[in-house]
Amino acid sequence: MAFGTQESSARGRVTVLGFRLFYETFGQPERGTVLCLHGGPGVPHGYLTCLSDLTEFGYRVVFYDQLGCGKSDRPKGTSLFTIERAVEEADGIRRALHLGPIHLLGNSYGGMLALAYAIKYSRNLRSLVVSSGLASVPLANAELRRLVAAMPVGTRRTIERLERREAFHHPDYQRAAMAFYRRHICRLPTWPRELSRAMRETSRPVYRTMWGPSEFAVLGSLRYWDVTDRLPQIRVPTLITGGKYDEITPRVLRAIQGGIPGSRLVIFPNSSHLPMWEERERYMQIVGRFLRRHDAA
């Protein structure tokens, strides 16, 4: 089966919780619908559109830009940027687009959001795919700091020195952060243009409010978020994926697997945070076969 980014079959805006959100769909729901939740928080959905490959398995694949980023509305202030509201927003998209029971796939922060959604709305799910997501920000933050400590000494010292000064926008800090990203977010020698564009278009208000000033300086409202003890409430078929070199490390992913009864974990040996790009064909095959096993769950 040959994979390549598909042409979108529909796009537009729908009103959810009082705001207009941009959505984009690919394919037809011959076997069902996959709703995809992007990460960041605040990185527009475009970097995930490679997941439209799943149309080859007979699925409609749906994306949207969460409130405050991409082509969706940007409210005044930051008080609406919470994961609790984002759960209701995701279900609002599902209902506004008349998707019915869905397969839910979330990447990175979107994986956190997918877990939170599944805890509250398992009844609306056929299956759950957590792609480099996390159930505990404190655990993930500890692992991020461990990865920073393992960077080359010059990079590590630059990060630590400029963090003490809170100089997160200093060019040297940005260069050091990019060295981390190329090791732990995407290891491809040339990044896909969709990823580079999404990174450039990240909503700073959303990202800074919820996560923090950088990927490994977690100072935002999510810094204490932890649903590990609620994972056993998720009773839908669950696939957890990640990369060997992922910033969301295998340790973090194993904690999710240990909490969700019957869940399956797949670690991609040549990937970091985005195996859907780094090992694209194998990723799609594994996810596509998982979805097909649970069409009627």
3-state secondary structure 114-164: HHHHHHHHHHHEEEEEEECCCCEHHHHHHHHHHHHHCCCHHHHHHHHHHHH
Peptide bond into 41 cis (omega under 30): yes
Residue-level pLDDT at 217: 87
In angstroms, the first-to-last Cα distance of the chain is 25
Residue 221 to residue 233: CA distance in whole angstroms: 24
Residue 215, pLDDT > 70, answer yes
* The model's pTM: 0.94
Average pLDDT in the 231-240 region? 97
Six-digit token pair at 257? 């697997």
**Closest of 157, 213, 145 to residue 184, by C-alpha:** 145
Residue 235, pLDDT > 60, answer yes
Answer whether 44's CB lies under 8 Å from 70's CB. yes
User: Under the phi-then-psi rule, with left for phi > 0, alpha for psi from -120 to 50, and beta for the rest, what region is 83?
Assistant: alpha
Catalytic residue (one of 38, 45, 103, 273)? 273
Average pLDDT in the 178-201 region? 96
Please state, for a pLDDT cut of 90, what percent of the chain lies above it. Answer: 93
Class of domain 10-136+191-293: alpha beta
Give me the phi and psi of 13, to 5 degrees please.
-135, 140
Residue 1, pLDDT > 60, answer no
- Return the C-alpha torsion angle 96, 102, 105, 109, nearest 10: 40
Residue-level pLDDT at 285: 97
Residue 246 falls in the annotated catalytic set:
yes
Answer whether 211's CB lies under 8 Å from 40's CB. yes
Residue 3, pLDDT > 90, answer no
Catalytic residue (one of 72, 108, 132, 272)? 108
Residue 91, pLDDT > 70, answer yes
The per-residue b/e assignment along 238-258, b for 16 or more CB within 10 angstroms, e otherwise, is bbbbbbebbbbbbebbebbbe
**HSE-up of residue 256 (Cα within 13 Å, Cβ side):** 34
Give me the phi and psi of 194, to 5 degrees please.
-65, -40
Q: Where are the alpha helices (DSSP H) in the chain?
A: 83-96, 109-121, 137-149, 153-164, 171-184, 193-200, 204-210, 250-259, 275-278, 280-293
Catalytic residue (one of 246, 263, 271, 272)? 246
Q: For residue range 46-73, list pLDDT tens digits in order.
A: 999 999 999 999 999 999 999 999 999 9
Q: Reduced to 3 DSSP states, what percent helix, strand and coil does the chain have, rounded to the nearest 5?
A: 45, 20, 35
> Residue ranges of the domains in the chain?
10-136+191-293
Answer whether 38's CB lies under 8 Å from 48's CB. yes
Residue 239 to residue 287: CA distance in whole angstroms: 8
Answer whether 167's CB lies under 8 Å from 173's CB. yes
